[in-house]
Structure 1
Amino acid sequence: MLHIHFDDRDVARVQIAAEPDPLWETVLAMHQLAPAGRGVAVHAAWRDRARRELDERGLTRAARLISALAPADARYFPDFLTPDAARDGLAAGLAALRDTPRARLTAESARAALPDRLPRWAGALATGSRQPLDELADAFKEVHRAVIAPDWTEVSATVDCDRSARARTLCHDGVDAMLNTFRPVLRWEPPVLHVDYPYERDLRLHGRGLRLIPSHFCRRRPIALADPGLPPVLVYPVAHSTAWAPATSRSCHPQALSTLLGRTRARILAALDDPATTGELARRLRVSAPSASEHVSALREANLARSHRDGGCVIHALTPLGTALLHGELAPVRLGSGRPPAAPAPHLRATAAPGSSVLPPPGSGPAPRRSRPAGAGR
């Protein structure tokens, strides 16, 4: 269990990241490529596509570089792999990774190598060598481009839905209520936040606050940085309501909706599968707030969307007809019956045993030893 200790200053400085972190998502996506039974079921289609893409593009070694330093079941992996600068995007994160100070590179690489888990090639990192660090940064860039970037819009939308729901709770009911939305993986007993974790650890914030980072690819348990001197963050898994399909495996139904409604309006319809305010829709789809409002109004006039006031916010959601259209569940209606289509059924929404990565480390050395439960922290 991880125990995060707050004081009065920390409670006022809790933040929820506005965007998914590209380096965290890349590391955690590699965790999904563990053997059968270790990845989250909702990502099964993505795993199949990702393995094919990595193989066809000759990026298996690049993926191994990442998974060797940050194995799915490692008790610890270096904090320098996920620098705070990545909150400003992939390029900023990679630049910070390449600029990791030599002393930090040596200390964290040596700590990761303590269980004799790192492959031989990674030993050069512990000496402060820049060449393997540059190779690692290049690996992050290529792997992200191949298997993360094609689905970044959906990754961002999933994260934004989670963030929006928690932000509304924070706005209306305060920090206590928002932190209680994370049960059972997080348990808020003021002034301590107890986190489901593979070992006992205490983290004292000392007025620095806590940045919560929702993650599309995080598995089951939250993860924190190991160094208590770094800006405190807690990466947590978002909920996935249905089996998520990667970009290349989706049906042509979204294109059909675009033909019927227009591209932006179809995207608004799809985004409203998770209720949102106008501002949240605009951020989620990267359109202006007036444009989002105009399209919602058109959908509302067509009885595909509805709006209601919740405190100081106006929340937009799909009507049963909008849900049926989005999911292809419109029932046939006999002419002259006067009966509307039947409303669709409501949209409904484990720790795996340790194992080795599906991507063994490069070189001739043995596969790294795994020692922690799936989804363990750092």
Structure 2
Amino acid sequence: MSESWWSVDGQRGEAMLRVHFTGSDLANVRLARRPDPLWEIVCSLCRLQTREGALAFGPWRRMAGGLVRRGRTAREVASALASLVPRAAYFPDFLTPPLESGTHGLRTGIDRVLATPRRRLRHELSLLAASGGRPWAGAELARGDVAALTALGDTLRTYHREFVAPVWNHVDTATATDRALRMRALADGGTQALLNSLRPMAVWEPPVLTVDYPIERDLHLEGRGLLLVPSYFCWRRPITLADNELRPVLIYPVDKTPSAPATSPTSLTRLLGPTRAALLHETATLTCATTSELACATGVSVPSASQQLAVLREGGLIASRRAGKRVLHTATPLGRRLLDGP
């Protein structure tokens, strides 16, 4: 089969996805460097059609609702894509083409969507129709009609601009923070520690990674490895592709708890000073470090480092997450841009 699955209500069920690893697979586990724009589009469409995640997605959903009510273009693109990603258990894989190097931009992703072979378009859209969906431009799209494909590309670009781009700063910050935590786990304990860090949404019991899932499924990696892709709009449980011919991926949700209020002129003024500058530099250099490690690297006491890190956090330049008994700090994209200079 060639399909992707997502949960209608985001609740835990009895079915499981079991990802089976070999030794070669463990040596080929990768972590995407950035969020995938097309997966964010697809997952956000799922969030737009359900009410789960009120705290995490409430502000975005209100913004999206306002766009739909006020603008014909926004309403039309949301409706068109929702017909391809309906409130059901199935949506076509061709909307989320595989990543080559763990990251690509929206333009490259859309180009790959539009290059989907006609046979695959026809097969996956027929599966969508069989599941009860009524895909927009279904017959034309299934034939690979140039006008329909061009319209699909325009629709994806417009939806991203209207619904996803306005919150991309949050998407980028949340996924960058998560990636830093995963890389810290990898550095401390290798691939198995990285897989263990996915708890509780995924449970690693060698050689199988088990994930709560809408359907019973076993995915045998067979030496191809696994690409882990952090996602802001993914909710509660990881999702994957079911087409065995595609490169195995696991899209997993990141923590969406705001790490800091929006940056204000006052907080930026407080950030001036050599100690905070040094801490920010070391936070970016060490990728994901504890308070003690940062204090040691900058030559200040732990209490002083903790106080100055709080100021950086208030300014939105670092993000902090508790991992067991430790608090790990990482520079946000805003913090890295500040270090890079104008």
Quickly name the TM-score band, shorter chain normalised. Answer: 0.7 to 0.9
Q: C-alpha distance in 2, partners of 1:19/1:189?
A: 27
Taking the aligned partners of 2:149 and 2:165, their CA distance within structure 1 comes to: 22
Aligned to 2:306: 319
Shift of 1:165: 0.7
Find the counterpart in structure 2 of residue 22 from structure 1.
Answer: 37
Separation of aligned partners in 2, 1:277 and 1:43: 28
Number of the residue aligned with 2:223: 207
Say which of 35, 52, 58 aligns to 1:44: 58
**CA-to-partner distance for each residue in 1:239-284, whole Å, 9 max, x for gaps?**
123499xxxxx76x5243335547xx99999x89xx9442649xxx
Shift of 1:132: 2.4
1:268 and 1:33 mapped to 2: Cα distance? 42
Measured in 2, the distance between the counterparts of 1:233 and 1:16 equals: 10
Q: Displacement, 1:110?
A: 1.0
SS class of match (2:154):
helix
Per-residue CA deviation, residues 26-72 of structure 1 (Å, 9 max, x unaligned), is 1111222124x32442121111112223444431110112121112x
Q: 5+ residue gaps in structure 1?
A: 245-249, 282-303, 311-316, 329-345, 350-378
Q: 1:62 to 1:197 in 2, by over 3 A?
A: same
Q: Quick one: distance in 1 between partners of 2:162 and 2:292? A: 35
C-alpha distance after superposition, 1:141-177 (max 9, x if no partner): 0111122222223211110111111111111201112
- Of residues 166, 169, 172, the one that matches 2:185 is 169
CA–CA separation in structure 1 for the residues paired with 2:69 and 2:232: 23
Aligned to 1:291: none
Question: How far 1:308 moved relative to its partner?
Answer: 4.6
Preserved CA contact (<8 Å) 2:35 2:171? yes
1:167-206 aligned within 5 A: 167-206=183-222
Deviation of 1:212 after TM superposition, in Å, equals 0.4
Are the equivalent residues in 2 in contact too, given 1:31–1:39 (CA < 8 A)? no
Please list every run of 5 or more consecutive structure 2 residues that lacks an aligned counterpart in the other structure: 1-15, 298-303, 324-342
Provide the residue aligned with 2:339 in structure 1.
none
Aligned to 2:10: none
Moved more, 235-244 or 7-16: 235-244
Deviations for 1:167-195, whole angstroms, at most 9, x for unmatched residues? 11111201112111112221111111111
> Residue 128 of structure 1: CA displacement?
3.1
Distance 1:15 1:209 in 2: 8
- Alpha-carbon offset, residue 74 of structure 1: 2.5
* 1-structure distance, mates of 2:65, 2:305: 35
Aligned residue in 2 for 1:278: 285
Structure with greater proportional helix content: 2
Listed as ranges, the matches of 1:1-378 within 5 Å are 1-35=16-50, 37-57=51-71, 58-71=73-86, 73-85=87-99, 87-119=103-135, 121-242=137-258, 253-259=263-269, 261=271, 276-278=283-285, 280=287, 307-308=294-295, 319-323=306-310, 326-327=313-314
1:289 match: none
Contact 1:98-1:137 within 8 A present in 2 as well: yes
Structure 1 residues 49, 236: CA separation in 2 closer, same or farther (over 3 Å shift)?
same
Aligned partner of residue 3 in structure 1, secondary structure: strand
Q: Does the 8 Å CA contact 2:80/2:136 hold for their aligned counterparts? A: no
Q: Name the CA shift for 1:26/1:184 in 2 (closer, same or farther; >3 Å).
A: same
| SS of residue matched to 1:235 | strand
Name the CA distance, whole Å, in 2 between partners of 1:99 and 1:347. 40
Q: Which residue of the partner structure matches residue 336 of structure 2?
A: none
Aligned-residue Cα RMSD (Å) equals 3.4
Q: Secondary structure of the residue that 2:30 maps to in structure 1?
A: strand
Judged with a 3 Å threshold, the aligned counterparts in structure 2 of structure 1 residues 88 and 266 are, in CA distance, closer, same or farther, namely farther
Query: How many residues of Structure 1 are paired with residues of Structure 2 in the alignment?
Result: 292
Aligned partner letter, 2:294: S
Secondary structure of 1:174's counterpart equals helix
Q: Kindly tell me: are residues 159 and 148 of structure 1, through their superposed partners in 2, closer, same or farther at Cα, counting changes over 3 Å?
A: same
Query: How far apart, CA to CA, are the structure 1 residues paired with 2:75 and 2:64?
Result: 10
Q: State how far apart, in whole Å, the 2-side matches of 1:118 and 1:83 are.
A: 22
- Any idea what SS the aligned residue of 2:57 has? helix
Would the aligned equivalents of 2:229 and 2:249 in 1 still touch at CA under 8 Å? yes
Structure 1 distance, partners of 2:40, 2:189, is: 30
Q: Is the 8 A contact 1:257 1:266 kept in 2?
A: no
- Taking every aligned residue pair, what percent have the same amino acid on both sides? 38
**By how many angstroms is 1:306 displaced?**
7.6
**In the aligned structure 2, how far is the partner of 1:305 from the partner of 1:176?**
25
| Local SS of the residue matching 1:319 | helix
2:230 and 2:112 map into 1 onto residues whose CA distance is 21
TM-score (norm 1): 0.68
Between the aligned partners of 1:308 and 1:33, the Cα distance in structure 2 is: 43
What's the CA shift string for 1:85-126, capped at 9, x where partnerless?
Answer: 483211100111111111111111111111222246323323
Contact kept in structure 2, 1:241 and 1:348, CA below 8 Å = no
